[in-house]
Structure 1
């Protein structure tokens, strides 16, 4: 959790309900101290660190070229320098403070709308880096263009075009040559889950939405001409319903357009696979649910063979084992993403390997990736290989004797190269060292050479990966395949005579075999044809040999990845020749950099601040009267340093005006592992709580907050407050003055994963100790202890048993009061109606899907509201001053519906009880908020 949320925590220090508004959440940690610099070009301010200077100059040239192209395509000029923030790797990129949210594994960059910042990782691949820059710059131009149109038309409250158009446009403009159709789009057409444009809101934010949006815009451009896209953008103001805009510009109904689009996809994509068969008709399916990828083979005995694979079927990512030859259930070998040791798997990026009883696999652990060496027989991790200069690691591979471990890795500067580790000598050796993207290495017999994938071939600049061999002795590299295709995931047969790999050379990913005869020498040109061994409607990946006649692989079909078993035979081989007549030398292209007079300046980053938000509000209350105020937030370009300013006045009469000014000023430093903030405030005005009633309080002081994340899952927090407080209760209690010192320490843990309405698995808890004392008048002195434990047991994929046990104690002068009641705490009782300085709470829920999907249908389409979640609940608890009065409770059923991913509406029905008798009346409570 980012420290900016501590602003909420600090604010509630000054009101009576502070201890109840703590929060959970995992930690977004800034492990690395980056030495930020700025490269200024004609149209961009590029922020980077010196280790990635070559990628920065490459990215600068790509950006400038894209700017000129998009300036022409959009017929629009941007009157500012666009801030680009480059990271060398995805793991560095995940540390950014430009946005406070966690960045998932597959995100290749983002455009931040408030300040117009673009943030992108290079991640070792020129083509992916180029695509990400071009994609995000489309967002820059599109947003600027639409905003200028709406301003010119004086339609400032007009809705922005939908996300599918925004992202589809970015894909359409950024991908210059669509050589092959996308496999997800093909699968959607084949399996019937393609969404029409009027239904595309059902898949908002998904990869499929991106590809459908791109495909529909390509269809419009082919049908009406390329200028149709710009005409749609320029007429966005015509109607608030974007489909009406499309109809206005094209002169066709949206129903006719999408019918024609779907038909064109069916003709093109289904014709391509008309002569192919289903993999399930020939091969054995080993898995069913979730994403199951990256198989490896383990012989636990002479007769028992297990296939290991990585899967997220439980919500967490784990390593599973499936025995061949029997019908035993899946066995979990490694439980991932629950602890710091296996913090995060790279589900689609890194393969595994087995040698004897040792399993080598990669996970993120803190600042960088590590290689785990796991004992499969003992069921425990033996040791980890950590290399401080290597950020990301992929696909470890043991040598035949088990003494060396080969892998690909990304160094701090963003270069993706091949390495091996010598176990006997504890030595790390780098085999390649250049700008090219090298991955998926495997050993040749006797460790005399290596085969790997790389974009160093003639078509690599356009993103195509081919296979290459590397000679360990003379360091020579030679191509094994060549062409405008992706040849990836090599696997050597047990007799080292056949190289199995997957390739999309015929438009989709199939498995191929390249024979290796005695004439093959690593590092020297080897000319051979290849044989295709699969021709399926689905796409195949990650092939691994079980023995000379059996393989396992990953199949993508029906929007899922599953592990398949295939028995090879000679009849399945189809010869496919390769054209070597113009075979180029390796490393025949070099990415161009921006240099010379096109670079304005290079300088050290000193901090550049700008406004995040500035808003004011005036309210009128029949009892409290008028209130007016303003909120201002300022931060630097990187988001590492932030200022929050709050000013308001709550005077009810003219004479109170000067004394009723309130302000809050806070500064937060987020650029290091330890986040901290400090500031000052003045709050004065009338307050109310159930214990004290109405009173007037003036509080002036300063605060300090600190968060130290121990791991991704747990942290320490400290809040210190120094304040002068003056309270007036309007009665015999008179006026109380105090110079308050307040200190709270908390330990927070959270490894939970979430569903539609709240957590569904894992656990989270918080323990807080606090002490507040008046150091001048001794009018205030109390301590506070809070403990809140929550555990979620996933009984089935969609069935969760959730339990919360919480206790609150505060003792002393002006001790804290705790308030329960309502849908968040003790259901069946009015919100915050039960209070005391002691509190106990026990909640149980059985959470389940009640209705899978709710749709509202309109004449021109439908709105998908998602599903309705159900919960059977039993609550117990109470709050008291002195002497435990006994438990209050309730039981019943609740329903939750998630609106837009941000708001959960709650409706509970039940009966109250004191655990001696049950009330005769039924309560009905409607509220909002996530499940506990």
Structure 2
């Protein structure tokens, strides 16, 4: 996987799909609504139904849709080139064809089912292990696409080379590669070291934040690990040559840990090389203390720094107060929101304006590739993802309300909008369905959209001159653009001609005209560090800043007296203000004698045709993704004996269509085989917005009635179907129906039921929560549901069930929150469903499943807080990293009862809980509870000092 931006992520979003899917399908035939655990999760909405085709090369099968055909030819050419060079570098041929799936925009890429989870903004592509698929989008930049594609092809060879070693010696050792090795090597072999990498690594070095090489995994949650790993590989290559890379993979089978493998191949102890690496980093970056300025001791004033990510400042004068304010994006709440602060007071006068990540309109502000602008009337102009595509939004900052929204047919992405001089027009960068980025002009009065540039280059960050004559923008249309460099260009609105404003092997971006339109300020890394420059319309000017911290976007203050900018300092993106310097750092000019024509896209179709690639229709071939089998023995006089179960999962190459086959048996004898046979076949389609599934099942076996503690035999077989319709990422409607023949025999009561049943259910679900490893930390989610089971044979309602489950998380700090859950469940009819309570997941302080009834209420509240984020234990044989530990103080109340009994009142408990995430849903939980209600006798738990306290150890996410 490659991250296109190297910022860490504090939270993630839960997704309703994946591993839980089969469990939901299996249980549905009985009753999907009253299942003990309520279903939540956000939705991966499939807005587009892609018409896939295959472009088959010598080693690559490229999957694309017709709208992106030109990008497909480029992708296949680059993938085959990468295959040839990496095959030589690794001395290896991949043992199967490589499936390569491309999308023309990140918005389409996020809809793919090839990975079950959500794809964050900063992810530029990934290689998955199940089918060996490489998946990536085009974002308008030729070099970004080439870089990511080569990066993922390195992963293909890493996986294949290691697998070959294991196949040849299946009984050998299996050393685990650290993340810095795999991702750093992919960066090293796919791109050159650049100023962005320098900026992030320099920041760590100069702030003494580079850990020992054996502890680099503390940065595994963010993209900086990629560049730290790349810097290590570059030193290894310089000292030992790249041939050692092959020996690492060829000898992996001999070692159980990576450190010993590293010493065997490179001839130096792992920790010793780590010291050498750190020393070389200091030699490289410490001189910047002398030659560059430090932000913390400069005249720069802190404007917004109370978060690890504050970016895209837009300075404006409030029409209401007449004072200068700064609007900006910030991730201080875990979501990306838009705030503003008073320029003179900073964080002391802060307002929240737009809440991101909680509604369909403001799902994502695309923080890594955009900026905002504010009009003289105080109207904020910004882009946001709205359902499938981006839209332009107008927000009145004084009234704090939306005043406009515009979306455009044929444009998927929108970024960096800028107001025109009359504030009736605006310009922005738009990404077409075909994947190409151009500059557009929009007239709000006529609602006419004009495409100013129309080519294959990546054009971005447009800004309108105050007199309306020019639009300045950054683009890779420069002669150096094929290598990823960007320079500035002027678009003449009268002549419709484009001319160079800067030229060089560097990146110039984010230009802004000054107030009178005679000069342009911009960010450039031409001296090795991103700093701010100022030039006239002929390309001559000065360097204004010389910070070693690294700078992002900026905006002018009133009367060009100074500017606000984003800078990186101690792994934090903060917003600062600096008055115009009295003197320039350096002078620059545009040497027009060196101007040459821009680089041209090659005819990649011709390249592909020369290699005899062929176009094929998409094939719905299903392959086995997952197989599981288990056998065992349970000793019991009534329902024990041998048992076995198996599960198979098949899918197509896009993972849009899934087939589940499950079988199990718990027969105690050969004659009992069929009576205890369980099986299900399910087909599930999630190719389009409406996800649906259907299947057939047979469930049979002996069970225990929780209420009467008596044994019964039940056999059900039938068919079922389900539909899930996402209204947006955060809301969905689920419905389903099952038709079954049900036979039940109670052994001790001599009762028999032999009926045809129909089960119907419907649910409305909302989920805006974001997660830490142990569970939700912010947002809210709720589930409203209704289910009905009808006995067709007797013409009666066997069961009606209702559910209300509401959960709210109030974030207090980055890692702490106050969490509340309110749940009510009801089941009536001839054969009501029984709900179980007690234990770590429901009512703590009482044994698991000790409270049972057809009606239940539950109220939980707890204060969650971190105890430590990470702990390393150093033993004689090495380091043992321990995951973070979370604590919680809780108060629970609830109970369950039957229709025949009166409401018994609430049981309660209070206590402390400890949680530790071992990865995924495996969250260990230790609860120490004190019961606070002594008037009830719950399943034999009489009031006494002996059962006043209760301790439970279990697993599972926080509620």
- Classify the TM-score, shorter chain: over 0.9
Q: Secondary structure at the match of 1:344?
A: coil
**Mean CA deviation greater in 863-872 or 397-406:** 863-872
1:700 corresponds to 2:700: no
- Cα distance in 2, alignment partners of residues 529 and 64 from structure 1: 43
1:471 alignment counterpart: 492
Q: Quote the offset at 1:273 in angstroms.
A: 4.8
Counterpart secondary structure, 2:842: coil
- Secondary structure of the corresponding residue to residue 23 of structure 2: helix
1:893 pairs, out of 912, 924, 935, with 912
Match for residue 567 of structure 1? 579
Structure 2 partner of 1:829: 846
Q: Is the 8 A contact 2:16 2:40 kept in 1?
A: no
Deviation at 1:784, TM superposition (A): 0.2
Return the TM-score normalized by structure 1: 0.96
What is the aligned length?
922
2:341 corresponding residue in structure 1: 322
1:72-104 CA distance string (max 9 Å, x none): 001111232211001000000000011111000
Q: State the Cα distance separating 1:240 from its structure 2 match.
A: 1.2
Mapping for residues 55-94 of structure 1, pairs under 5 Å: 55-94=71-110
Q: Which residue of 2 aligns with 1:914?
A: 933
Mapped partners of 2:816, 2:384: distance in 1: 28
Equivalent residues of 2:774, 2:917 under 8 A apart: yes
RMSD in angstroms over aligned alpha carbons? 1.9
Q: Is the counterpart of residue 761 in structure 1 residue 789 in structure 2? A: no
Deviations for 1:549-603, whole angstroms, at most 9, x for unmatched residues?
Answer: 2101000111111100000133244213454442212345547443324243213
Cα distance change, pair 248–488 in 1 and its aligned pair in 2 (3 A)? same
448, 457, 464: which is aligned to 1:436? 457
With over 3 angstroms needed to count, the CA separation of the structure-2 counterparts of 1:273 and 1:133, relative to structure 1, is farther
Per the alignment, residue 137 of structure 1 pairs with 153
Gap regions ≥5 residues in structure 1: 517-525
The answer to whether 1:297 aligns with 2:315 is yes
1:393 touches 1:409 (CA, 8 Å); kept in 2? Answer: yes
Whether 1:612 aligns to 2:633 is: no
Mapped to 2, the partners of 1:326 and 1:181 lie a distance apart of 33
1:882-920 per-residue CA deviation (whole Å, 9 max, x = no partner) reads 311111110011111122354211111121122769964
SS in 2 for 1:911: strand
1:636: which partner in 2? 652
Shift of residue 298 of structure 1? 1.6
- What is residue 450 of structure 1 aligned with on the other side? 471
Aligned partners of 2:757, 2:876: CA distance in 1, in Å? 63
Specify the SS of the correspondent of 1:457: coil
Answer yes or no: is the 8 Å Cα contact 2:126–2:135 preserved in 1. yes
Q: Give 1:406 deviation, angstroms.
A: 0.3
Cα drift, residue 658 of structure 1: 3.4
Instruction: Tell me if the contact between 1:471 and 1:477 (Cα under 8 Å) persists in the aligned partners.
Output: yes
1:798 shift after superposition: 3.6
Q: What displacement does 1:156 show?
A: 7.0
Name whichever of 126-135 and 794-803 sits farther off. Answer: 794-803
How far, CA to CA, are the matches of 1:388 and 1:809 in structure 2? 48
Secondary structure in structure 2 of the residue aligned to 1:595: helix
Give the distance between the partners of 1:553 and 1:805, measured in 2 at CA: 45
Q: Aligned-pair distance for 1:861?
A: 4.4
For 1:274, the equivalent position in structure 2 comes to 290
The SS at the match of 1:506 is coil
Classify 1:14/1:849 alpha carbon distance in 2 versus 1 (closer, same or farther; 3 Å): same
1:214 Cα offset (Å): 1.4
For 1:861 and 1:193, the matched residues in 2 are separated by 22
Counterpart in 2 of 1:878?
Answer: 895
More divergent stretch after superposition (194-203 vs 399-408): 194-203
User: Does the C-alpha gap of structure 1 residues 695 and 182 become closer, same or farther in structure 2, counting only changes over 3 Å?
Assistant: farther
* Cα distance in structure 2, aligned partners of 1:36 and 1:350: 30
- CA–CA separation in structure 2 for the residues paired with 1:649 and 1:480: 75
Equivalent residue runs for 1:236-247 within 5 Å? 236-247=252-263
Instruction: Tell whether the 8 Å contact from 1:680 to 1:702 is kept in structure 2 after alignment.
Output: yes
- Residues 1:926 and 2:953 aligned together: yes
Q: CA deviation at 1:666?
A: 0.3
Q: CA deviation at 1:778?
A: 4.6
Could you tell me how far 1:161 is from its partner in structure 2? Answer: 2.1
- d(CA) in 2 for partners of 1:486, 1:297: 24
What secondary structure is seen at the aligned counterpart in 1 of 2:119?
A: coil
Correspondence for 1:150 among 166, 172, 176: 166
Contact 2:788 2:799 in 1 (8 A): yes
Contact 1:911 1:919 in 2 (8 A): no
Larger deviation: 79-88 or 856-865? 856-865
- Residues 806-821 of structure 1 correspond to what in structure 2 (within 5 A)? 806-821=823-838
TM-score in terms of structure 2 length: 0.93
- Judging changes above 3 Å, is the alpha-carbon distance between structure 1 residues 591 and 297 closer, same or farther for their aligned structure 2 residues? farther
Q: Equivalent residue of 2:522, what SS?
A: strand
1:487 to 502, 508, 515: 508
Secondary structure of the corresponding residue to residue 764 of structure 2 = strand
Q: Name the structure 2 match of 1:426.
A: 447
- Assess if the C-alpha contact under 8 Å between 1:667 and 1:678 holds in 2: yes
- Work out the CA distance in 1 between the residues paired with 2:42 and 2:850: 31
Partner of 2:521: 500
Native 8 Å contact 1:887 1:915 kept in 2? no
The answer to whether the 8 Å contact 2:711/2:748 transfers is no
Q: What are structure 2's unaligned runs of at least 5 residues?
A: 1-14, 937-942
Kept in 2, the 8 Å contact 1:293–1:348? The answer is no
Question: Which residue, 25, 45, 50 being the options, matches 1:10?
Answer: 25
- Aligned position for 2:533: 512
Match of 1:656 among 663, 669, 672: 672
Q: CA offset at residue 303 of structure 1?
A: 4.1
User: Which of these residues, 881, 887, 894, is aligned with residue 864 of structure 1?
Assistant: 881
Does structure 1 retain, via aligned residues, the 8 Å contact 2:46–2:111?
Answer: yes
Kindly indicate whether the alpha-carbon contact (under 8 Å) linking 1:311 and 1:317 is maintained by their aligned counterparts in 2.
yes
TM-fit CA distance, 1:110: 0.5
CA positional deviation for 1:508: 1.3
| Cα distance change, pair 279–183 in 1 and its aligned pair in 2 (3 A) | same
Q: Deviations over 1:181-227 (max 9, x none)?
A: 53111111111111222102222242121111111111111111121
Provide the C-alpha distance between the structure 1 equivalents of 2:59 and 2:782, rounded to a whole number of angstroms: 48
- Report deviation, 1:27: 0.6
Change (3 A) 1:501 1:220: same
Which stretch of structure 1 is more off in the superposition, 294-303 or 368-377?
Answer: 294-303
Q: Is the 8 A contact 1:138 1:173 kept in 2?
A: yes
Q: How far is 1:814 from its partner?
A: 1.2
Structure 1 distance, partners of 2:176, 2:63, is 29
| C-alpha distance 805-402 of structure 1, shift in aligned 2 (>3 A) | same
Partner residue, 2:7: none
Task: Give the one of 738, 753, 773 matched to 1:736.
Answer: 753
Is the deviation greater in 599-608 or in 332-341?
A: 599-608
Q: Does 1:52 align with 2:63?
A: no
For residues 26 and 156 of structure 1, the distance between their equivalents in structure 2, rounded to whole angstroms, comes to 42
Shift of 1:859: 3.8
